[in-house]
Structure 1
Amino acid sequence: MMESGKTRRLGRIFRDDGRAVIVPMDHGVSVGPIEGLSDIRKTVNHVAKGGADAILVHAGLAKTVDTTELGLILHLSGATRLTNEPNWKMQLCTVKEAVRLGADAVSVHINVGSEHEQDMLDNFSRILDECDDYSMPLLAMMYPRGPKISDEHSYEVVSHAARLGYELGADIVKTNYTGDVESFRGVVNSVRVPILVAGGPKANNVSECLRLVYESIKAGAAGVSIGRNVFQHKDPSMMTQAISEIVHNHANPENALSTNGEKSETVLART
């Protein structure tokens, strides 16, 4: 059977085991040149060396970094923290531009439950049509975030957000971890496309981050998308490799750390 363009592109993000380690580096649009992303080329080289499967960036960075050994996901959404509506993610790039840049997928950010949810959903549907035209995989970042949501990690809101992305037609869904294996397994089982777990804010230490990765995979996630806990680590390559050991080689957090010569209590922040 002939392989479709979408399948070939997904094959540059997910390995043969159906899993992926993605390092998002789209933070510069929302918060500026934060620690770890000032020298973006250096950081990309570090995570590639560590075994990342793909990076996620905006169009400008995609033009300047070497992704020869990495899958490339182009992020189409954004808003700055300086605006009055930082949770209203607008479309900043097109799928056509992603094709020109050689992207293997595009991503769209939707804050489910926000006051501008409908605007983001409308935009999602238009992008989905364009993705179909180009056989471009679409990753939906589905985050429960709004005035009626008190706990962005509760099973009720995470499962709803993930299911929404699936039912709208996303090829990959990225969302929050619910905090325990059993409840997140329920999220995974309700969605018939790969689910990636978001890394979230920078963790207090390495073991905290790797425990999230381990539990996510145990629950059935297809991988993780972790940014700050990788590129703000004192050794991004080592951190990427430890995460990859868990995702692809079924290592537990302690073994992943010992493989890389790191103790679990090591603080993530650069010194």
Structure 2
Amino acid sequence: MHIGKAIRLERIFNRDTGRTIVVPMDHGMTVGPIEGIEDMREAVSRIVEGGANAVLEHKGNVRCGHRAKGRDIGLIVHLSASTCMSPRPNYKGLVASVEDAICLGADAVSVHLNLGDDNETDMLRDVGRVATECNRWGMPMLAMVYARGPKVGNEYDPKVVAHCARVGTELGADVVKVNYTGDPETFSKVTDACCVPVVIAGGPKMNSTREFLQMVHDSLTAGGAGLSVGRNVFQHAEVVRLVQALSKVVHEDLDVDDALALVEK
């Protein structure tokens, strides 16, 4: 691997465990300033206090979340976007470049690809081009790959998720983010078919903290490399405690009962 990529990946992954906790905060572009990320500096501070490995933001919000004090945290700049007001919200277009991310001091970039969308070909081309640029600059690329289109019956189907992960890998991603399939047995088939780390998305906001912690725990037992979860983290009633508990689960293999006790203490 390019030494630049290796060094940057160690800023968003725990180098001892090879796992990561990423908290995406790119939702403001898609749906507006929702609860939990109205004040970006405060939101990032809570995530840092909890001990996450990295945050993920659009380029314009990096200045809003930069604290200029306290513990450092990895930065992933998101390059693609759409809004919920678009007639084609699943079509993610590039709104930033790898060079933009370098200028912002990013440790990685991320791109979003929705397989099955009418504009899938354009998104595949964009992600492939970003991967080429990342190789040139030694910048890690995280690919968020989901199946969302008229031919997709169930985006959580294990075969569909495995296809998503494989597409991200074959396009050149250094980390792939996909949906969790629902159980360790099927998710292990997703991770086994990838030669790069696979992290899980959070999906819709969950009502149960135990359910969330269990999902993270089970994904790790199936070979997952951690999580990249937004709303289920930054909208939680106890953000700092939750991230602290997640850190114990991800990096110290703490069981779910003990992790839940940390959140509810």
| TM-score in terms of structure 2 length | 0.96
Q: Decide which of 71, 77, 84 is 2:80's aligned counterpart.
A: 77
Cα distance change on mapping 1:248 and 1:122 into 2, 3 Å: same
Q: Percent identity?
A: 48
What does the per-residue CA deviation read over 1:212-234, in whole Å, with 9 as the maximum and x for residues that have no partner? Answer: 11111111100101110111011
Query: What is the aligned length?
Result: 261
Q: Decide which of 111, 115, 119 is 2:114's aligned counterpart.
A: 111
CA distance in 2, matches of 1:260, 1:201: 20
Q: How far 1:3 moved relative to its partner?
A: 7.6
User: 2:12 matched to which residue of 1?
Assistant: 13
Spell out the pairing of 1:118-137 with structure 2 (5 A cutoff): 118-137=121-140
Q: Is the 8 A contact 2:241 2:262 kept in 1?
A: no
Q: Is the 8 A contact 1:26 1:75 kept in 2?
A: yes
CA distance in 2, matches of 1:3, 1:132: 8
Q: Decide which of 241, 244, 250 is 2:244's aligned counterpart.
A: 241
What does the per-residue CA deviation read over 1:154-204, in whole Å, with 9 as the maximum and x for residues that have no partner? Answer: 011000010111111110000000001000000000001000000111001
CA distance in 1, matches of 2:263, 2:89: 38
Is residue 2:233 matched to residue 1:230?
yes
CA distance in 2, matches of 1:192, 1:69: 29
Which residue type is aligned with residue 4 of structure 2? G
What does the per-residue CA deviation read over 1:69-99, in whole Å, with 9 as the maximum and x for residues that have no partner? Answer: 1100000010000010000000000100100
* 230-239 or 103-112: bigger deviation: 230-239
* 211-220 or 3-12: bigger deviation: 3-12
Q: How far 1:66 moved relative to its partner?
A: 2.6
User: 2:219 matched to which residue of 1?
Assistant: 216
User: 1:179 matched to which residue of 2?
Assistant: 182
Spell out the pairing of 1:16-35 with structure 2 (5 A cutoff): 16-35=16-35
Q: How far 1:141 moved relative to its partner?
A: 0.4
SS in 2 for 1:224: strand
User: 2:209 matched to which residue of 1?
Assistant: 206
What does the per-residue CA deviation read over 1:124-154, in whole Å, with 9 as the maximum and x for residues that have no partner? Answer: 1111121112100010001111111111100
CA distance in 2, matches of 1:166, 1:182: 21
RMSD: 1.3
SS in 2 for 1:110: strand
Q: How far 1:64 moved relative to its partner?
A: 2.4
Q: Is the 8 A contact 1:43 1:236 kept in 2?
A: no
SS in 2 for 1:139: strand
CA distance in 2, matches of 1:164, 1:132: 17
Moved over 6 A (4+): none
SS in 2 for 1:81: coil
Which residue type is aligned with residue 37 of structure 1? I
CA distance in 1, matches of 2:36, 2:144: 22
CA distance in 2, matches of 1:238, 1:193: 29
Q: Is the 8 A contact 2:166 2:193 kept in 1?
A: yes
Unaligned 5+ runs, structure 2: none
Which residue type is aligned with residue 35 of structure 1? E
Q: Is the 8 A contact 1:20 1:224 kept in 2?
A: yes
CA distance in 2, matches of 1:135, 1:64: 26
Query: Which of the two has greater helix per residue?
Result: 2
CA distance in 1, matches of 2:2, 2:176: 22
CA distance in 1, matches of 2:195, 2:128: 19
Unaligned 5+ runs, structure 1: 263-271
SS in 2 for 1:56: strand
Q: Is the 8 A contact 2:238 2:263 kept in 1?
A: no
Q: How far 1:115 moved relative to its partner?
A: 1.1
